Every structure is written in C-alpha cells, then in structure tokens.
Amino acid sequence: MTAERIREPGISRVGWGSALLVLGVLLACSVLAIAVGAVDLPVGSVIAELLDRLPGIDITSGLSEREAAILWELRMPRVVLAGMVGGMLAMAGAGFQGVFRNPLADPYLLGVAAGAGLGATLAIAYVPDDSGWVVSPLPLAAFAGAILGVAVTYALGRSATRTYAAATLILAGVAVAAFLTATQTFIQQRNTETFREVFAWIMGALGTVGWEEVRLILPYVIASAVGLLLYRRLMDVMGVGDEEADSVGIKAARVRLVVVAAATLGTAAAVAVSGLIGFVGIIVPHAIRLVLGSSYRVILPLSLGFGAAFLIIADLIARTVIAPAEIPIGVITAFFGAPFFLVVLARARRLS
Amino acid sequence: MSGLGLAEVAVAYNGRRVVDGVSMHVEPRTWVALIGPNGAGKSTLLRAVASLVPYAGQIDIGGVSTAGMTRRHLSELVAYLPQRPVMPEGVTVADYAAIGRTPYVPYWGTESAQDREVIAGVLERLELTSLADRQVDTLSGGEAQRVVLARALAQQSEILLLDEPTSALDVGHQQQVLELIDLLRSEQGLTVLSALHDLTLAGQYADRLVMMRYGSVVSDGTAESVLTEESIMQNYDARVRVVDMGTTGLVVTPLRPDRGP
C-alpha cells in the first residue's frame, strides 16, 4: 500500500466502498418504502416484482393484481419522486455551499424558496381549480417563481457592485427573499380561504404525486445533476477563494453563475412538485463532508444517493406515523434530520 | 526561458492610483524582491502581473503580452501565491496540491495519470508525501507554507509570484522557506518576483531589489545600492543601521530613536 501511495497521492474520488454503500442504502430504503404502507406488501414479493421488470428476468412475485397496482401506481412513483427531490436538493445544497464557500448555504439561499412560495400562492389564490389549464398551474407557477427569484437576485447583485462576489449575492438574496415573502404574505392575507392549501404546500408534500410528476421534472433533474457533477473538480478549486481560483486559470464568478443556474433549475423543479422541503440541502452534504471528506468529487455524487435515500425514508415516516393522515414531509426532515445531524457532528468532532 | 517585462504599469482602485507607472524587467532564472513600506503597491503590482486586477500599461512574458492570453494559458506561465492563502477546511494536502494542475486539466475533467505523477513528484520533492492525507487547515505554519508552494510548483509555471511568502513564519521557518524557494529556483529554472517585508532577508536571497513607494519605483538594483540608511530613512521613515556582514550580505537593523541620556 505504501509503495502505491507514493506514486498515487490519493486525490479524492468516490471509492468502490462508498459507491456500494450508497447504492445499497438507496436500494434498501426504496424497497422498504415500497413495501410499507396502508397495505403492507411482503418485502420478498416486492423485490421479485421489481426484478421481474428487468429485461431477461422472469420471476413470479405472487402479488395480487391489486397489490401490484399499489406497488406500481402508488408507492413506486412516490418513492422515485421522493428520491429525485431528495437527491436534487442535497446536490444543489452542496453546490451552493461549494461556490459560496459557506457551510450554511442551502439551495433556497438566493430567493428560490420565496419565489416559489409567491408563485404557488398566486396560483392557489387566483387560478380556479376548473380553469381548464392543460398543465397544472401550481407547479408551473412555483417553478417560474423560483427561477425568477434567483434571476432577480443575480441582477441586483450585479448592479450593486458590477461583480458576482459571493457576499454581495447572498445579501441581495436576503433582500429579494424578504420582498417576495412580504408580497406572498400580503396576497395570502387577502385570500384567507386558501390558507390551509398554501400552508400545506409550503411545508412540503408528496401526497398526490404520480408518474406524471416524475416525467414532468425528470429532464430538469437530469440536466441539473449532470451539470453539477461536471463541476465537481472546479468546486474544489473554488475552495481557495475567487482570487486564487482565478490565478490557477478559471473564472470563479463564471463557475459560480453556472453552478447556481444548474442548482436552481433542479431545485425549482423539485420545489414545483413537492413544495418547500427544508434541511435536506444542508444536512446531507454536511454529513457526507464530516464522515467521508471535504472534496466535492465525493460530496456531490454521494449527496445524490444519500439525499435520495434520506427523503425516501422521511416520506415513509411522514405517511405512516399517523396514518391514514400524513405529516408534512418538511416537519419530518427537520424533526429527525436535526438530531441525526447533531449525532454525526458530535461523532466527527471526536474522531478528528 | 521567459523573462518578465513591465512597461508603465498602472493600477487604480476607485480612482486612486495604487500602482503608478512601474517599468522593470525580471531576467529569467533570477529572483527580484519588491520592497517598500506598507501601501507602496507591491501586492497590487503582483496581482497585476497575474492579471487579477485591471491594469494599464504593458506586461509581457518572454516578449509576449499577457493581455491577449487566456486565463488558462497565463496560469501555465505564472503561479501566484497571495500573502495569506486560503486553506480550505477539511481539504487534504493531495487535493490541495492538485488545484495547481487546473490549467492542464480539461475544464470538466479530472487529473490524468500524468497530472497525478506531477503532484506526487512535487509532494515528494517538498517532503510532503507523508502528509498527503492530512487536512490543510490542521497544518503548522511551516508545513502550510510548503503545501502552498507545492500547489504553485504543481502549476509548472516558469514564473513564481510570491506575496510575502514568509510573513506568518518564525525566523527559522522563514529561513527554511526562503532557502527552499532559492533551491527550487536554481533547480527548476524558475523566475521569482516576490514582495518581501524583511529587508535583511530580501537582500540575502534576491538577486535584485526594487524599492517602491506611493506606487512607483524609487530605486532598483543590488542590495548594496538599494539598502542604504539614507534611503530607508527617506522611504520608510525608519532609523536603521545597515551593516555589511561580508559573505552573509547586509544586515538591516532598526535603531531605537534616542531617548536621551
């Protein structure tokens, strides 16, 4: 090992161990979440039914037609969507932390949440349910609001200093978020009859989703995830600050712009179908950072997997604890995420 | 071998001229030290050479103007280390040194086998191999300075711009780091332009001293011609004694203003 070490100075990358671990955790969480619910499906049958769909494999799962329908039409899309949203939020959070060199940065930092909230409130308050829109207006409005929030933040940050300095952008984001939230609160207050609906959306929910939502956000999530992964090494370079990053041959402000754009696209898509789910974007990348190292070559790909697993489990808890009612998933991510994170934090401190 | 040429270089911050018409030539394989009081424009001049601030005038490397070069190409020719390099939290020494390979790594790619070989060689050369997995924010001052140099060497540029490379170090580590820079310079044919605070060390290590004040060059030449008691009084407003120690060079030592009998 030592001879190998000298030749290869161990630049961080996702090793086989971590890759297998994240895949294993993700698969186990998915199977569990598919099996457990109002009607429990036997885990063995779930695995058989899933394998049966793979090309070249033919297994009889023993599930009844109704059970198979529950699996494919109710549980599966929900698990897939929770995975996509969780992975996306965690990756986007990691991206923001990387380009802002700020451990508290999350994907909602630059006005995504406030913009999406305003868009959703407007859609709920002013677009009647039977308006005959081809696509559902709520996700569209939330998506547009999220993108708009970040675009305005960038425009303001730019006009203030003619640079894209990290601190200026964060401050512009605070101002934009405050303004959008005030507007949203005003509209909310004028339309008190929609309060419950808006509140439920803001706390996050995956209650009514199906394959349609998965198809709706898939292109954005793929584009965003691929974009962020391409920048994993450059995010490590960003760690030395804009000036030193520039001095080794990149344009730090441009990297920040592209990463923010990619992360925002994916976050906006996630928010559009799931509402505002907090905490995933902060704790998942940090837990990985504390245990497996600070390189974005490790953090970004693993955030995708562990973020997905985390939200799949959070959603499982959200829909089973007080079944048949559901707890908002945002409550679960914070309620279980915060203590979990404190444990990781304490352990990591002791190890180092 | 590429020398470094500056002609009438000027930098203004908010309308104030911080560097004001500096012209000089740094011969290949030599070490030129920028000295001068705080605020003389030494750091800003180094930033201008690295194209990190907008400047007026002409800067060329081996006769080619840097103004037309891409960021990436310039980074293959010039490595720049600021006075207090950022040591990113939790990042390993190997990952940190790898940052220096950025101009050679495809934009969205990762290090090739050859890049990794260069990094391994640099870590070996600076006796950092055993620290490769350590986190850079846990290193001592002397180790950190070597790690930062490793990143610069991984850049494989012929010109090294160093802003106060020893400012955070004790006298022993100052000596070690400067000896190392001098050794690397002769070993790898590097051209070094550095700001140095300590006049004695500047005189001992640099081939030539350039003294700046108010953004301009006030004197340029050998240690003997630049480090005079008169000039230091004039430009630093400091009373010093300059003692010639023979082979060791000049020693500049401050004199405490006379407090009476």
Q: Which of A5-9, A43-47, A109-113, A322-326 has the lowest mean pLDDT?
A: A5-9
- Using an 8 Å CB-CB cutoff, list chain B residues near A10: 92, 94, 132-133
Q: Do A239 and B111 touch (CB under 8 A)?
A: no
- The DSSP annotation for B121-136 comes to HHHHHTT-GGGTTSBG
pLDDT for res A322: 87
Domain A85-351 indexed as CATH 3.40.50.920 = no
Rounded mean pLDDT of chain B? 93
User: Could you read off the pLDDT of B31-71 as tens digits, one per residue?
Assistant: 999 999 999 999 999 999 999 999 999 999 999 999 999 99
Write the residue in B107, B108, B116 that is nearest to A9 by C-beta.
B116
**The residue type at B202:** A
Class of domain B4-254: alpha beta
Domain-wise residue ranges, chain B: 4-254
Write the residue in A236, A246, A289 that is nearest to B52 by C-beta.
A246
**Closest Cα in chain A to B161:** A247
Question: Percent of chain B, pLDDT > 90?
Answer: 84
Angle at A299 between CA A36 and CA A23, to 5 degrees: 35
Q: Do B102 and A8 touch (CB under 8 A)?
A: no
- Using an 8 Å CB-CB cutoff, list chain B residues near A233: 105, 108-110
User: Could you read off the pLDDT of A70-85 as tens digits, one per residue?
Assistant: 999 999 999 999 999 9
Residue A4 pLDDT exceeds 70: no
- Using an 8 Å CB-CB cutoff, list chain A residues near B116: 8-9, 11
Residue A206 pLDDT exceeds 50: yes
Shortest distance, CA B145 to any CA of chain A (angstroms): 14
Write the residue in B75, B108, B119 that is nearest to A249 by C-beta.
B75
Write the residue in B72, B88, B97 that is nearest to A249 by C-beta.
B72
Residue A323 pLDDT exceeds 90: no
Write the residue in B78, B92, B119 that is nearest to A12 by C-beta.
B92
For residues A62 and A48, the answer to whether their CB atoms sit within 8 Å is yes
Residue A132 pLDDT exceeds 80: no
How does B144-167 read in b/e, with b if 16+ C-beta sit within 10 Å?
bbbbbbbbbbbbbbbbbbbbbbbe
Residue A3 pLDDT exceeds 50: no
- Using an 8 Å CB-CB cutoff, list chain A residues near B79: 247-248
CB pairs under 8 A between A and B: 105
Domain-wise residue ranges, chain A: 85-351
**Distance (Å, whole) CA B197 – CA B169:** 12
Q: Do A10 and B94 touch (CB under 8 A)?
A: yes
> Which one of A2, A6, A7, A11 makes the best mutation probe of the B interface by having the most chain B beta carbons within 10 Å?
A11
Shortest distance, CA A307 to any CA of chain B (angstroms): 21
> Which one of B70, B99, B155 makes the best mutation probe of the A interface by having the most chain A beta carbons within 10 Å?
B99
Q: Do A12 and B88 touch (CB under 8 A)?
A: no
Name the pTM for this structure.
0.91
Q: Quick one: tokens of B249?
A: 């060079």
- Using an 8 Å CB-CB cutoff, list chain B residues near A237: 99, 102
**Closest Cα in chain B to A227:** B108
CA A338, distance to chain mean position in Å, is: 17
Cis peptide bond N-terminal to A137, omega within 30: no
pLDDT for res A9: 62
Write the residue in A11, A239, A249 that is nearest to B111 by C-beta.
A11
How much is the ipTM here? 0.93
Q: At residue B64, what are phi and psi to the nearest 5 degrees?
A: -105, 130
For residues B194 and B31, the answer to whether their CB atoms sit within 8 Å is yes
Write the residue in A241, A247, A297 that is nearest to B80 by C-beta.
A247
Q: Do B102 and A237 touch (CB under 8 A)?
A: yes
Q: Do B92 and A246 touch (CB under 8 A)?
A: no
**Closest Cα in chain B to A101:** B88
**The residue type at A91:** M
Q: Is B84 helix (H, G, I), strand (E, B) or coil?
A: coil
The band of A63, judged by pLDDT with boundaries at 50, 70 and 90, is confident
pLDDT for res B257: 74
Q: Do B92 and A293 touch (CB under 8 A)?
A: yes
Residue A324 pLDDT exceeds 90: no
Q: Do A236 and B99 touch (CB under 8 A)?
A: yes
Q: Hey, CA dihedral for B155, B156, B161, B165, is it positive or negative?
A: positive
pLDDT top residue among A136 and B223: B223
pLDDT for res A95: 95
Write the residue in B86, B110, B135 that is nearest to A244 by C-beta.
B86
* Mean pLDDT computed over B152-177: 92
CB neighbour class for A298 (10 Å; exposed up to 12, middle 13-18, buried from 19): buried
Phi-psi region of B69 (alpha: psi -120 to 50; beta: other; left: phi over 0): beta
**Distance (Å, whole) CA A228 – CA A281:** 14
Q: Do B71 and A237 touch (CB under 8 A)?
A: no
Shortest distance, CA A233 to any CA of chain B (angstroms): 7
pLDDT for res A2: 43
Any idea which residue has 């923010």 for tokens?
A: A260
Rounded mean pLDDT of chain A? 87
- Beta pairing partners, B219: B211
Q: Quick one: tokens of A235?
A: 């995010």
Element (H, E) at A91: helix A76-100
pLDDT for res A161: 60
The band of B76, judged by pLDDT with boundaries at 50, 70 and 90, is very high
* Mean pLDDT computed over A201-224: 87
Residue A180 pLDDT exceeds 60: yes
Q: Which of A30-44, A120-134, B177-191, B229-243 has the lowest mean pLDDT?
A: A120-134
Residue A345 pLDDT exceeds 80: no
Q: Quick one: tokens of B136?
A: 């850079």
Give a three-class secondary structure readout of B198-256: CHHHHHHHCCEEEEEECCEEEEEECHHHHCCHHHHHHHHCCCEEEEECHHHCEEEEECC
Strands of the sheet with B216-221, listed across from one edge: B78-81, B159-163, B191-195, B31-35, B208-213, B216-221
Q: Quick one: tokens of B39?
A: 């605020």
* Mean pLDDT computed over A187-215: 84
